[in-house]
Amino acid sequence: MTEIVQEIKDISDVEWVSTRITERLAASGDTTGIPYYHFRWKKKWLADYVAWPRNAEQVAAIIKFAQKNQIAVVPRGGGTCYYGSASPTRGGVIVDTKPLDKIIEINKEKMWAHIQSGIVWEVLDRKLAKQGLALKVTPQSAPASTIAGWLAIGGKAGIGTPKYGTILDNILEMEVVRPDGTIETITGADMETFYGTSGIAGIVVSLKLSIREMPERTDGLMFSFDSIEHACHLTEELASTSIKPVYLRVTDPEYEWRSQGGLPQNSRKGCFVLVTYDGTADQVEKGIEYARNLFKKAGGTDVGKEHYQKSWDDRFIIEMKLKLEVPTLSMQNFWMKPKNVSHLARKMYEIADKYKINSCYYMVLGAGGMVRFCAFAPSDHRYWMHFMSGKAMLHKLVKMGFKYDAKLYTLGLQNTVYLKKYQKKEYNHFKTVRDQWDPNGLMNPDKLTGSNLSYSRLNLMFTMNGWIRRLMTLFRVARNILQVPRWVKERT
């Protein structure tokens, strides 16, 4: 091992490559909302080395070295992605891109920032703010995730996406290192190979990102409603008008209760809709007025300025808050039309009641009027049957989701198993990219193009689990281990 590290250093001038167990451990997992078994059930889930390159030449040298020695390369940003996307499955080298954090140039005339790809969103945002500038789009993981990390998972729902589009829509050009170590600058349609492909086409090193002037005002409102159907309808309405919100999120009572430590007084039991506008003071006023009228017509109840503000301020930690509130959190993400969400949400409640487990959801408006719908199964993995039943519920939702044209939002390691069966078009696209750019299959293996877990086995396991849990509930031996007050569970 030491020899290999030495060789990497010799050929590349990479400042630091480590084989220390602490660093390999820290870089191999996911710091997010899923239990660690998602990557640990792979035999070689631990990286052999971690490298911290600072420029394209160093990235190229690492990749060339990996090709020469036929070892896996796993690009990594903030490691905040769900589903083990940046976790090794065959050891190899993790290319930690966080040291690629330079701002190369900010062009105020053409309104772009030329940056290295490993810069953390929030850091960039703060630096732009000092010059009166702002980002157009950001994921809600902005305090920890990197620009290229969001690009590589195919980011399209977050803050700014309803108004400014996907992350790819906001990139003007990028510098990449291909899996054979070639450094290239690409623009236009060529950039699509790097969008949502988890690094299988190579590593993005720097890019030009479209930016804007700091908005004059940012403000919004939050209402509660009697049913999820209200939220689906209102989301569609708000997404299709000319005054686009900069952010829109819907939460159900359990999600709101867990993440905010309570529900606002007099709130309705169906769901909560938060919408935010930005721009000139006039544009924001018009947006708020429009949404308020719509919400009132739908019979909603204003939860008040204070709760709105608290919820908006929480936008970067809202997903993590839930994780902090429950011992183990399983989730599944869907990319779908808002009008179809209620079918999935209602099915989720129905299964959860049958299995005697918890469930809640959260949804965010993305680009093109579509939403990222996140279904959660809060649990505690020490109570194995409860935990596995949550997973079984999410599996059922995946199967059902495809009937409603829902695609899996994040793929990574966990969801690759579903691709071949349910998302043939995307699977074929990933196969083409892999075959063209990474024929040796060394770039982020076991992601997108091949899973060594069979779908039939997975399906059988969860189906059997569902039957057993159902019998347990019928014979009254199933117990829900996470309690929710009755008034929160009175879903309407």
In the complex, the residues that contact ligand FAD under the rule CB under 6 A are 32, 74-82, 85-86, 97, 117, 139-141, 145-146, 148-150, 152-153, 155, 157-158, 198-199, 203-204, 319-320, 410, 444
Q: Which is nearer to ligand FAD, 315 or 395 (CB)?
A: 315
Q: Maximum CA pair distance of the chain?
A: 70
| Contact (CB, 8 A) for 269 and 490 | yes
Q: Which is nearer to ligand FAD, 170 or 473 (CB)?
A: 170
**How would you label 339-364 residue by residue, b for 16+ Cβ within 10 Å and e otherwise?**
ebbbbbbebbbebbebbbbbbbbbbb
Residues 276 and 363: their CA atoms lie apart, in Å, by 14
Q: Which is nearer to ligand FAD, 101 or 285 (CB)?
A: 101
Contacts of 487 (CB under 8 A, 6+ apart): 269
The single residue listed with the structure tokens 């290192």 is 177
CB of 399 to ligand FAD, least distance (A): 23
Q: Which is nearer to ligand FAD, 148 or 357 (CB)?
A: 148
The pair of structure tokens assigned to 31 is: 């710091």
Q: Which is nearer to ligand FAD, 356 or 447 (CB)?
A: 447
CB of 474 to ligand FAD, least distance (A): 37
Q: Which is nearer to ligand FAD, 206 or 342 (CB)?
A: 206
CB of 426 to ligand FAD, least distance (A): 15
Identity of residue 46:
L
Contacts of 348 (CB under 8 A, 6+ apart): 359, 361, 375, 393, 397
Q: Could you tell me which residues are beta bridge partners of residue 51?
A: 17, 95
Reported for 180-185, long-range contacts at CB under 8 A and 24+ positions apart, including other chains, are 180/63, 180/64, 180/67, 181/60, 181/61, 181/63, 181/64, 181/67, 182/60, 183/56, 183/57, 183/60
CB of 145 to ligand FAD, least distance (A): 3
CA atoms within 13 A on the CB side of 212: 14
CB of 191 to ligand FAD, least distance (A): 12
CB of 388 to ligand FAD, least distance (A): 23
Residues 396 and 385: their CA atoms lie apart, in Å, by 16
Q: Which is nearer to ligand FAD, 139 or 390 (CB)?
A: 139
The pair of structure tokens assigned to 455 is: 């779908």
Q: Could you tell me which residues are beta bridge partners of residue 274?
A: 222, 249
Q: Which is nearer to ligand FAD, 75 or 220 (CB)?
A: 75
CB of 262 to ligand FAD, least distance (A): 21
Q: Which is nearer to ligand FAD, 76 or 396 (CB)?
A: 76
Q: Which residue is nearest to ligand FAD (CB)?
A: 149
CB of 118 to ligand FAD, least distance (A): 6
CB of 149 to ligand FAD, least distance (A): 2
Residues 200 and 202: their CA atoms lie apart, in Å, by 6
The single residue listed with the structure tokens 């040796």 is 440
Sheet holding 73-76, edge to edge: 17-18, 49-51, 93-96, 73-76
